[in-house]
Every structure is written in C-alpha cells, then in structure tokens.
Structure 1
Amino acid sequence: MMSDAALGLTQLLLFLFFILLGFPIAFTLMAMGLFFGYLGMGDRVFDLLIQRTYAVMSSDVLISVPLFVFMGYVIERANILDRLFRALQMASGNIPGSLAVATLATCALFATATGIVGAVVTLMGLLAFPAMLRAGYDVKLASGVICAGGCLGILIPPSIMLILYGATAGVSVVQLYAAAFIPGLTLAGLYIAYAIGIAIVKPEVAPRLPPDAVAVPFGKILWALLTSFLPLALLIAMVLGAILLGLATPSEAAAMGSLGSILLAITYRAFTFGKLKESVFLTARTSAMVCWLFVGSYIFSSVFGYLGGQGVVEEFVKSLPLNTFTFMLLAQAIIFVLGWPLEWTEIIVIFVPIFLPLLDNFGVDPLFFGVLIALNLQTSFLSPPVAMAAFYLKGVAPKHVRIEDIFRGCMPFIFIVVFTMLMVYIFPAIVTWLPETLYGGQSGPPAVQMDAPPSGGFQEEEMPELPPLQ
C-alpha cells in the first residue's frame, strides 16, 4: 500500500502524463483530484468538490474576468484594431522598421484592451503580417514581431493572468496591476528598440517604405490619431486609472470598460446584434473555462496538500543549499522549462502554488514573484514545441511561411524577455516603485480592498478535517 505522500507525487506525475497526451486540463485536474482524494480520504472528497466549487463560483476576485474578456471581444469585433494599426503606421512612417514599430505599438495598446493572446496574434497576423511581407520584411522578423507583441497581454494590465495569479496567491489584483505596469511598458519598449535597431543594422530585413507611402500630410496623420488612437487610449486610461487610483474596484472598472467598448463600437458604426451575440457567447465560453479550471485546480491542490505531496516538495527544496537568488533562479528556470510543453494556465494553477509556500522561507515578496512569472510566461507562448503564438500565426499565415521560420523569429524576443527579467531582478524598483508610491505598504487603495483575495488565496497546504456542509 502506497503512503499518502507517494500518492500525492503519483497524482502530480499522472497529471503531467495525461496533459501531455492532450486531455482537457480542467477535467483532468478534477478527475485526478477526485480519484486520489477518494483513495486518501474516502467519501469526504465529494464534500470537498461541492465546497470548493461553491468557493470558486462565489469569489469576488474572478468577477472581473468575464467583464474584461467581454470588453476585449467587443473591441476585437468592432474593427478598432484595423483603424489603430493604420493610424500608427502613418505616424511611424519615417522611423526605421516602421511597420514593425506600428505592429508592436498596436499590440501593446490592444493588449491593455484584451488579454486574449490568440485573438491579438490572429488579428495582427491577418492585418500586419501581409503588410510587412509585401514591404519586403524578413519572414522571421515579421513573425517574431507579431508573436511577441501579441503575448504582451499576459503582462500588461488588465491581464487575465494577473487576476488568476492574485486569486491563487492571495495577492491584491490592484497591486499586481500597479506592479506589472512599468515592466510591461519596459518590455514593449525593448521590443520596439530591437525592431528599430535591427532595421538600422540590417536594412535588408526591414526595408524602409517608399517615399510615396510615407508622404502623408501631417493633418491626415493627426486626424487618424484623434479618431483611432485617442478614443481607445482614453477608454483604457479610464479603466486602468479608476483601478490604480482607487476610484473603482477591478470588477467595477471592468464593467465600465465593457460599457465603454460598446459605446466605442456604436461610435464607429461597427455595433450589430450579431457581433454582440458572438461576443457574449465567446465570453461565456472563456469564463466557463477559467472557472472550471479553478475548480479543478482547487480540488487538485487541496488533495495534493492533504496527501502530503506539498510537504515533500517543500522539504526537498529546503534541503537544497539555496539562498534567495538561487531559489529564484531555480523557480524561474523550472517555470521557463514548463512553458515548453504546457500553457500558462496550467503553470499558474498547478505549479505556482507549489512555490508559493516557499516564498516566506527565502524572503521573496509574492507580488514581485508574480510579476517575474508574468514576464517568464511570455516565453511559454514563444518557445517550441508548444509555442501557441507561433501556431496561432501559422494558422493565418501564407502557405510559404514555415513553422520553423516562425520559431526562429521568436528566439530574439525570448532573449529580450530573459534580459528584462534580469533587469527587474537587479533593479526591483521597476516593479515596486509604482505600488509603493500609490499605496505605500497597504494592499491597495481603500476603494478596492473588497477585490483583494483572502489571505492564502485558493491554496491549502493541510486539510485534516473537512467542516460539514451548511
């Protein structure tokens, strides 16, 4: 008969095995949790299922997820991205690598409106990728620009990933948004700097546009920016500003952003009942996936902790000769490697909770740790063999574009992500300055305290007794 700890470790290994076979994540988590929970605690595991499902579905933290997702889908289907790209393309016409710069700037701004990586990569693949290829851009550079730019939504607020991390780690989502804001802009800026630099050093990979293409009157450029860039920028500034300044909770700001996206679509005469219906359907599907993923992860992690698997991992890590730096290096290296076969959702809900109880032992702030993870997870969409951003782009790219070329194009941007992580670790003020300036030592402004998750988030290390259902 296996010990409880051995059962817990077997549970984790079997989960990885089934995920690599392609089984659905949420239901695999629930199945593994219920099966091994029944072996370890008997019928009580079904009480656990009911209690944890209710806890997730009644969580205030997750209310903002469907609202932000809806906001993104409405903006996506209102053809605002097309207007935005054209305006930024005209504005950056005289800059080396102007199409790449316009693409990255569009992705960065659109990432703040929707954290849906697949949507941004697909739309920019249809819009900007053909434009860059027609202009003579190298396939690898054009591919890397779109894939890397499309992944910025994981990091730049209002990121869905940061909401899920906040719920998992028991960290204020408001502070996470404040902490990730400057690193997100820094990463986007480094992407743009690389695009300009490579266009100067190797002009053959990013040719300048012909004179007639950049000879646009200033008045036309200004009008394009006022009608395309400014409205979306104002909407995003109002949503994020309301959150960061404590004028509204993330859920309230997301509701305001959803209404604003509908008004913006109406203003652009791109609002129809069919598009609204499609946005609602896609929002419901995405939100259901997120909620069931949390239900599964909550059950899985609770059973894993009850069986002693979490304790075995903790004792093993504590037995290693690690200091704060080497622990952070080990944790980020593991997450980086896990990003090759797994998606960010699996990493956040399954593997990040394993590290969270260890942070106090090494004096690591979970807020700082979360931003590093958000940076690191950029690579999970860019690094093969999974590299979902590459496959999203391949799905809409011309037939002559090979997946190998897209992978090669992503590599320089992976190095930029790693460099940014190094900068953040050496200069932690990049992460801590804004939340400390806005909130001091508090967990967020008074108006947003209600959206901060309870201490400990959704994880439990021990569960010796289950209280009776009420």
Structure 2
Amino acid sequence: MEWIAILMFVVTCVVLMLGYPVAFSLAGTALIFATIGVVTGTFDFTLLNALPSRLFGILTNQTLLAVPLFVFMGVMLEKSKIAEELLLSLTKAFGKLPAGMGIAVIIVGALMAASTGIVGATVVTMGLLSLPTMLKHGYNQSYATGVIASTGTLGQIIPPSIALVLLGDVLSSAYQQAQMSQGIFSPETVSVGDLFAAAIIPGLVLVGLYLIYSLMIGIFKPEWTPKQTQGSKLKLSELLTGLIPPLVLIILVLGSILLGYATPTEAAGIGAFGALVIALLKKKLSIATLKDVTINTTTITSMVFMILIGASIFSLVFRGFGGEELVHSMFENIPGGQFGAILIVMAVIFLLGFILDFIEITFVVVPLVAPALFMMGVDPIWLGIMIAINLQTSFLTPPFGFALFYLRGVAPKEVKTPAIYKGVIPFILMQVLLMVALAIWPEMATSLPKIIYS
C-alpha cells in the first residue's frame, strides 16, 4: 500500500497550498487517510496507540525547551532597539568606505541573526531601519534590497539558530532510527551543539563572501553605492554601547554550549535572561514591553509545537502505509548512489521551501528522508548544515522566497519587485557556491565539532 503514502503526501501539499493551517493540515489529512485505511483494511489502527507516547515525548523534550527561550531572547532584543543603535553607529563608521552602508547592514544583519535566529524578524527589522536610509543616500535599489534580504536569511545558519535547534532534535531521532534499522544500538546522537559548531565556519564564510561582494560593488560600481560626505562623527562610546551588548550575549550563549558548560536549553535560558538585562540597562523594559514580548513568544512557540504534533501524526500514518520503506527503496535505486540521493533530496527541499516554512520542512520532510540517507553513510552533521543552507537559499529565491515577501511588505512603494528579484541573484549564487564547497570539502562543517568535542 505504498502508493497510498505517496497519495497522502501529495494531498497534504495540495491542502497546504490552498492556504489551510499547516499543523491541522498535516494531522487532519493523516487521520482521514488512516480512517479510510482502517475501513478498507489497508491500515493497522493499533499503530495510533503510539501517538500518546510520542506527544508526551514532545512535551518532555529538553532540547525543544530551548525554542521558546531563544524566541524570547530574539524578540526582547528586537524591542530593545539593539539593531537600530548598532546600525546608526556602524553607518557612521563605514559611511566613507566603498559600499559603507551595505557593509554596515551585513555586519548588523549577521549579529542580529546570531542574536535572534528568526529570519522574518531580521528581514523586517533591517528593511524598516536601513532600506529608506540607503535609498535616501542614492544606493541602487537592487543592491540595497539584495543585501538586506540576504543578510536577513543568515538566521538560518549562524548559531544560535532556532532552525539548527529543531534540525538537531529531528536529525538525532532519525540517526538513532537508522542505526536501529541496521541492528546497531549506540548511544551516539546528533546534538544541537554539534550543529552549532559545524555552522560557524560556513556562516563566517558566507558573511565574508557578502562583504567581498559589497566591496567589489563599491569599487567597480561606485554609482550604485555613493559615499557619505556629510554626517556627524562617530563617538567611540556610541560604537561600544551598540556593539558590546549583542557580542557579549552571543559569546555567553554560544561559548557556554561549545565549551560544554551548558546545554543548548540552559544556554537559551542565559540568553533570555541576558536579553532582559540589556533591555533593562537601555531603559526599554516596561510592563507593556514584557507583555508584548511574552505574547509574541507564546504565539511563535505554540505554532512550532502544534506543527510538531501534526507532523508526528503525519509521519506515524505515513510509516503505517509503508512510506518509509518506499523512500528507502527509491534512494537505493537512484542512479549515482549516495550522490544522486543527496542531490534529489536537496532539490526537493529547495522546491518545498517555496511553499513551506523551515519548521514544516524540518518536521515533515527531514524525518522521511534522513534515515535512508544515514543508512547510505551520509554524515548527519554535514547533512544538517547542507539542509540549513539549502533552505536559506530557497527562502531567497524568486519568485516565492519567504524573505522576498517579508521585504516586499516593508519596502517603500517606489521599490519595484523586479529590482528586489534582481538584487538577490548574486547572493543566491554565493550560497550555491558555498554548498558546492561543502560538498567538495565536507570538513568545512565536520572538522570544528570533532576538534571541540574530541
């Protein structure tokens, strides 16, 4: 009955494209197919008895507890105007360099990505703060929108990232499942700390590529990036006040994880408390602000966990119809072996990134394909980083990239949509170049975790 599993996946995608809520689309479609399967005798209803234990496992998962804490940290930093102050300071510092404002946007975007880990929040924040200023100073529309949209997506790859937290949990379960299928019972898993360490070098390389591109634009296309000839001088105290708080917080959170002093969940607690302290020191903390941040955090966290519950029901029914065996046999018969299987998985994830958010792809698609890839010998840490960068590229690719929609929503009316599409193309090529480099030299992702945790 494997064809029913394929039909269920297709129907779910159609329902999602019709605009129905993701969590209820996944769970509802799966339960409808399970009911039809019970009536026709093609599905064993007793498989659903495992559902309560799965849901209880979600609620008691210590790793997933980091999600609301990291979300709280990111939203609180957004409300405390960290990005706004830092952007003003760095604009003054780099304003007279070629593409100085673009360089400032990249640096602030990278710090925001490491601080918040939320793509939508970073793109919207940077779009509201920097795009009008860049256009006012005569920056080319395509370059300005491209650099803002691309730096906003860095939240997918630069740790501590919510995407990597969720990927770490899902890949760990998939890795253990693949080992058990092969008769291997090992305590070894894929930890969130491994993914954080693995993402550092690719993340820094990507930021470096963005900076080099901006400098080249400033040198060879000076009319696109006029230098600032006027403006107040930068005070060192201004720069330090804007730069030190997010840097200290990132070092505390990421350093405590990588050095083994704290688990990701404990480090997320440190980050949430640190964000509160920063907001208090900047006199941005009030009852109204705290209420707003708490409501935002609860809304995002509820969405994540509802999708996870829906995805658990979907994957359980999918396996009940033999979908897991079908995926594994398909990968075994793909020409090119491991390389061919990875190429197809990356292409599917890239295309699904047009219609699904990273949360849905992480909870629905990754558990279906990852065990089969692990059984073929694919490194789980390397796969996690490749998926993260692939999704980042998908979110930036016209015409359906999520980052483009976020930026379009806050961009001034004079900025045309084709200009946004044209601006992101060089950054998409840089991300594809990074994925090719990771495919050729997987040590870019796998070496640092081995060094830190050896």
1:74 counterpart letter in structure 2: M
Report the CA distance between 1:42 and its aligned residue. Answer: 5.8
Corresponding position: 1:31 with 2:28: yes
Give the match for residue 12 of structure 2.
Answer: 15
What is the distance in 2 between the residues matched to 1:388 and 1:401? 17
1:288 counterpart letter in structure 2: S
Give the match for residue 349 of structure 1.
Answer: 363
Report the CA distance between 1:45 and its aligned residue. Answer: 5.8
Report the CA distance between 1:158 and its aligned residue. Answer: 1.0
Runs of 4+ in 1 over 3 A off after TM superposition: 39-49
Corresponding position: 1:301 with 2:315: yes
The answer as to whether partners of 1:179 and 1:367 remain within 8 angstroms in 2 is yes
Give the match for residue 203 of structure 1.
Answer: 222
1:93 counterpart letter in structure 2: G
Give the match for residue 92 of structure 1.
Answer: 94
Give the match for residue 236 of structure 1.
Answer: 250
Distance 1:362 1:107, change over 3 A: same
What is the distance in 2 between the residues matched to 1:15 and 1:240? 37
* Matched ranges for 1:151-162 at <5 A: 151-162=153-164
Q: Please identify, of 243-252 and 322-331, the stretch whose mean Cα deviation from structure 2 is larger.
A: 322-331
Give the match for residue 181 of structure 2.
Answer: none
TM-score (norm 1): 0.89
Please point out which of 233, 241, 254 is paired with 1:216: 233
What is the distance in 1 between the residues matched to 2:418 and 2:58? 41
Report the CA distance between 1:343 and its aligned residue. Answer: 2.4
Please point out which of 401, 421, 424 is paired with 1:410: 424
2:311 counterpart letter in structure 1: S
Give the match for residue 184 of structure 2.
Answer: none
1:54 counterpart letter in structure 2: F
The answer as to whether partners of 2:5 and 2:322 remain within 8 angstroms in 1 is yes
Please point out which of 429, 447, 459 is paired with 2:443: 429
Report the CA distance between 1:46 and its aligned residue. Answer: 5.2
What is the distance in 2 between the residues matched to 1:264 and 1:421? 36
Corresponding position: 1:400 with 2:417: no
Give the match for residue 395 of structure 2.
Answer: 381
The answer as to whether partners of 2:206 and 2:431 remain within 8 angstroms in 1 is yes
Please point out which of 313, 320, 324 is paired with 1:310: 324
Give the match for residue 74 of structure 2.
Answer: 72
2:340 counterpart letter in structure 1: T
Matched position secondary structure for 1:95: coil
Give the match for residue 133 of structure 1.
Answer: 135
Q: What's the % identity of the aligned pairs?
A: 41
What is the distance in 2 between the residues matched to 1:270 and 1:161? 28
Give the match for residue 152 of structure 2.
Answer: 150
TM-score (norm 2): 0.92
What is the distance in 2 between the residues matched to 1:145 and 1:151? 10
Give the match for residue 180 of structure 1.
Answer: 199
Corresponding position: 1:279 with 2:293: yes
What is the distance in 2 between the residues matched to 1:237 and 1:23? 40
Query: 1:324-351 deviations in whole A, cap 9, x for unaligned?
Result: 3333222222222222333222222222
Report the CA distance between 1:209 and its aligned residue. Answer: 1.5
Matched position secondary structure for 2:65: helix
The answer as to whether partners of 1:148 and 1:382 remain within 8 angstroms in 2 is yes
Structure 2 unpaired stretches of 5+: 38-42, 173-189
The alignment yields a C-alpha RMSD, in angstroms, of: 1.5
The answer as to whether partners of 1:342 and 1:380 remain within 8 angstroms in 2 is no
What is the distance in 1 between the residues matched to 2:375 and 2:268? 36
Query: 1:256-292 deviations in whole A, cap 9, x for unaligned?
Result: 1111111101111111111111101110110111111
Query: 1:83-117 deviations in whole A, cap 9, x for unaligned?
Result: 11112212222321011110010010011110111
Give the match for residue 175 of structure 2.
Answer: none
Report the CA distance between 1:167 and its aligned residue. Answer: 1.4
Structure 1 unpaired stretches of 5+: 441-470
